[in-house]
Structure 1
Amino acid sequence: MPHRWLLLLACFWVLFMLLVASKFITLTMRSPEGYGIKQGLLTVLPELEKMTVTEARKFHIDSPPTVDTLKNMTHIDLIHKERLELLRSVCRNGSFRNLSHSGISKFVLDRIFVSDRHKILFCQTPKVGNTQWKKVLIVLNGAYSSIEDIPENVVHDHDKNGLPRLSSYSMEDVQERLNSYFKFLIVRDPFERLISAYKDKFVHNPRFEPWYKHNIAPVIIRKYRKDRTEIRGGLQFQDFVRYLGDPNHKFLDLQFGDHIIHWVTYVELCAPCEINYNVIGHHETLEEDAPYILREAGIDELVSYPTIPPGITKYNQSKVEYYFSKVSKRDIKRLYDRFEGDFKLFGYKEPTFLFP
C-alpha cells in the first residue's frame, strides 16, 4: 500500500515538472512585444487568401498586426493598403515635392463629383473608365433608377445628370466633405493613358467634339511640328508628346481651358498628396478594384459597376512601344520628367524599355 502512494506521488511530481517546463519554453519563445513566435525559432504565417510569403513580407505595416487581423485581410485588402502606404511615402519625400504636390484649387474641386446621399467623393481622371463611375453615382444620387436607364448624352451633361461638383459648395462645406466622406480615384499607366487620350480626341473622336481637331490640334502643330510645311494627316503623336513635355506647356493649357483634363497629370487633377483618399483603383485591375470600391463605400448592395469587356483593362505594352518608337528619346525623357510624379505615386514602373 505505501508503495502505491509513493508511485502516485512520483507521477504527480513528473506531471508538475512537465507543466513548469512547458510554461518556460512558451515564455522564452515569445517575442518581447508579445506579437507571436520569436523569429529564428519558429515561423507562423496565417493563411491568407491568395497571398504568398513574399507578398506578405513586401507589405509594410507601421505596427505589427495580430494574427486575427491578418486572417481577416484578403489579398486585395493588402494590395490597397500597400498602394496607400506607397502614396503617403512618396508624398513625404521632399525630393519629389515639385512632382507630387498640388494645391486644392478650383480646378481640382471641379474634378470631384459628390454624392451627399451616400457621402462619397469621386475624383475624375479621364481615360480610365470614368464614364462608368459617373453612371454609378448618377444612380446613387437618384436621378435614374438604373445604369441602363441613363442616356449616353446625359452622362457628361452636368446640367442634367444630377452630379454636383465639389466646387459648387462653400469652402466650409468643401472642408467638411473632404474630412468625412469616402474618397476615391482611378489611375492607369500614365503613358498608356496619354495614348488613349490622343486616339480618342485627335484620331477617332467618337463623341464628336470637333474643337479638338479644329481648334486645339492646329495650335499644337504650328508650335511643335518640326517640319511645319507638312500639315497633312492632322496632329501626329510626336507633336502631342512635344507639347506635353515642353516645360512651358502651361501657356497653351490656359488657352485650351478645361479640355486639357484628358492629358494632365493625376497630381494636377486630384491633388493626391493634399486629399486623403480612401481607395486608389487601378484601371489594370478594375475587375477586382470596382467591387472592392463599392464594398468599401458601403454601396455594393445598392448598385453594381457595369460589365467590363474582356481584355479592355489589360496593359498593352506593345501598343505603348509602337507609339513611342516614333518619338525621339529626348522628347520621351522630357515627357517622363513631367509625369514622373504619377509613375512614382501610384507604383507604375518607369518605361525602361524606352531608354536604351
Structure 2
Amino acid sequence: MTLTMRHHWLLLGACGWVLLILMFVSKFISFRAVDGKLLFIVLITSGIKVISPLSYPPVGPTVAEWELVADRRIKLLSTVCENSSLRNLTHISINKFVLDRIFVCDKHKILFCQTPKVGNTQWKKVLIVLNGAFSTVEEIPENLVHDHEKNGLPRLSSFMPQEITHRLNTYFKFLIVRDPFERLISAFKDKFVKNPRFEPWYKHDIAPAIIRKYRKSHRNNDLTASGLHFEDFVRYLGDAEGRRRMDRQFGEHVIHWVTYAELCAPCEIRYSVVGHHETLEQDAPYILKAAGIDQLVSYPAIPPGITRYNRTKVEHYFSGISKRDIRRLYARYQGDFHLFGYPEPDFLLN
C-alpha cells in the first residue's frame, strides 16, 4: 500500500470517528441565546455547562429546524426536574396560585402559563383573538388585555377539578421564560420606577415595607419619597424567611418576581413548549405552528433587539450590591437558572 493510500484511509477513519462522536454528543446538547449568539449547553449529571458561542446563521432557522431546540429544552427541563438536589427549588404543587396563572383557550385546546415581565401581554392578545373577541392583535386595547374580568380569558382555576385534570392532560401547554436576573430588573423598573399602569400600591404599600425592613439606614417619614432601591429589592428577595412573611402581606402582586417554578409548576405540569424571551423571533412562529394556530393568528411584530439579553444592564444594576446579597438571590432563583438552561451568572457571583 502506497503512503498516499495509507494517508487516505487514515483520514477516512478519523472522519468516521468524529461523526460517531458528534452523533453521540448531540443527544446531550441544548441551546441558549445570549447577545444575539447561540450557546451550546451540554447536559451533565451535576448540572449545566456552557461550552461555546456560535453566531446565528445569516438566515434564521426554519420552524422545523427550531423543533430540535424546543425538544432539547423539554429534555433539559425533565432532566433537571429529576435532580434531587434541586427539588426544593423546582417542585411546586399544582395549587390555586399556579392555576390562577394559566389562561385557557378551549376553542383551540391551549393553556398558557403567565410569567410576568417576559412579554406575556402579546401572548394574551393572541389568545383573545383566538377566542373570537377581535380579528387581529392590533385591534385589542391595551387596558383590556390586563382586565381579567373583561378580556374573555378564563383561568384554569375557574374549572372543576375533573375539568382541570382533563385540560392539563390533553391541551397544548406553553410558557415563556427569560434570564431570571434580567426579569427581576424588568419587574423592579416596571413596578417601582416607571409604573406605567399607575398601580399605586407598589410605591405606597410594598416599597415602604421593603425599605423599612431591608434598607440599612432610613427615616420613617421619608420612605415613599426616597423610593425603593434595587439593592433593597435584592435583599428582600434573597431573605428566605423574611420574604415569605412579607409575601403573605403583598398577596397576588408578588407574581412579578416569584420564580417560574412557583408560577407554573413546570416539574408537575408537562409543558409542550418552553419559549425563551431571548429567542422570541424563532419561538413565536414555532409555538403558533406547534399549537396548530399559525393560520389563524399572527404574533405581534417584535422590535429589533428588544428581546436580546443585555449583560451590560445586568452588571449596572448589580454594581455596588454585595456578593453575599447576590449569592443569596441566586440561591433563590437557582432552580429557574437550571430548569431553563440559563448559565450561572459567574460575573456577578465571583
- Same fold per TM (> 0.5)? yes
Structure having the higher strand fraction is 2
| Other structure's SS at 2:285 match | helix
Counterpart selection for 2:288 from 282, 288, 294: 294
| Other structure's SS at 2:103 match | strand
Letter in 2 for 1:129: G
Deviation readout 1:133-155 (Å, 9 max, x if unpaired): 00000000112122122111100
CA distance in structure 1 between the partners assigned to 2:168 and 2:90 by the alignment: 19
Structure 1 residue aligned with 2:159: 169
Contact 1:107 / 1:269 at 8 angstroms: preserved in 2?
A: yes
Shift of 1:329: 0.6
Counterpart selection for 1:141 from 124, 131, 151: 131
Letter in 2 for 1:335: L
Q: 1:73 to 1:295 in 2, by over 3 A?
A: closer
Counterpart selection for 1:278 from 272, 297, 300: 272
Counterpart selection for 1:245 from 228, 238, 250: 238
CA distance in structure 1 between the partners assigned to 2:22 and 2:324 by the alignment: 38
Is 1:219 equivalent to 2:209 in the alignment?
yes
Letter in 1 for 2:240: P
Q: 1:55 to 1:166 in 2, by over 3 A?
A: farther
Q: How does 1:126-275 map to 2 (within 5 A)?
A: 126-229=116-219, 231=223, 232-248=225-241, 249-275=243-269
Unaligned runs of 5+ in 1: 1-38, 46-52, 62-71
Shift of 1:158: 1.1
Shift of 1:184: 0.1
CA distance in structure 2 between the partners assigned to 1:349 and 1:77 by the alignment: 22
CA distance in structure 1 between the partners assigned to 2:18 and 2:336 by the alignment: 37
CA distance in structure 1 between the partners assigned to 2:181 and 2:195 by the alignment: 19
| Other structure's SS at 2:175 match | strand
Shift of 1:209: 0.8
Contact 1:113 / 1:123 at 8 angstroms: preserved in 2?
A: yes
CA distance in structure 2 between the partners assigned to 1:308 and 1:56 by the alignment: 36
Q: How many residues align?
A: 302
CA distance in structure 2 between the partners assigned to 1:233 and 1:56 by the alignment: 57
Larger Rg, first or second structure (1 or 2): 1
Deviation readout 1:39-72 (Å, 9 max, x if unpaired): 9784797xxxxxxx969833349xxxxxxxxxx9
Letter in 1 for 2:112: F
Contact 2:73 / 2:274 at 8 angstroms: preserved in 1?
A: yes
Paired-residue identity, %: 68
Q: 1:117 to 1:312 in 2, by over 3 A?
A: same
| Other structure's SS at 2:68 match | helix
TM normalised by structure 2 equals: 0.82
Shift of 1:326: 2.2
RMSD over aligned Cα atoms: 2.1
Unaligned runs of 5+ in 2: 1-12, 30-61
| Other structure's SS at 1:242 match | helix
| Other structure's SS at 2:108 match | coil
Structure 1 residue aligned with 2:321: 327
More off after superposition, 242-251 vs 171-180 = 242-251
Contact 1:124 / 1:185 at 8 angstroms: preserved in 2?
A: yes
Letter in 2 for 1:112: I
Q: How does 1:68-147 map to 2 (within 5 A)?
A: 74-147=64-137
Letter in 1 for 2:265: A
Structure 1 residue aligned with 2:336: 342
CA distance in structure 1 between the partners assigned to 2:189 and 2:24 by the alignment: 39
Structure 1 residue aligned with 2:304: 310
CA distance in structure 2 between the partners assigned to 1:240 and 1:290 by the alignment: 31
Contact 2:63 / 2:285 at 8 angstroms: preserved in 1?
A: no
Deviation readout 1:170-225 (Å, 9 max, x if unpaired): 00000000000000000000000000000000000111111111111010000110
Structure 1 residue aligned with 2:26: 58
Letter in 1 for 2:284: A
Structure with bigger RCO (C-alpha 8 Å, 6+ apart):
2
CA distance in structure 2 between the partners assigned to 1:278 and 1:149 by the alignment: 29
Q: 1:44 to 1:180 in 2, by over 3 A?
A: farther
CA distance in structure 1 between the partners assigned to 2:187 and 2:179 by the alignment: 12
CA distance in structure 2 between the partners assigned to 1:55 and 1:238 by the alignment: 46
Shift of 1:330: 0.6
Contact 1:125 / 1:186 at 8 angstroms: preserved in 2?
A: yes
Structure 2 residue aligned with 1:354: 348
Structure 2 residue aligned with 1:7: none
CA distance in structure 1 between the partners assigned to 2:158 and 2:294 by the alignment: 27
Contact 2:96 / 2:157 at 8 angstroms: preserved in 1?
A: yes
Q: 1:76 to 1:59 in 2, by over 3 A?
A: farther
Letter in 1 for 2:115: T
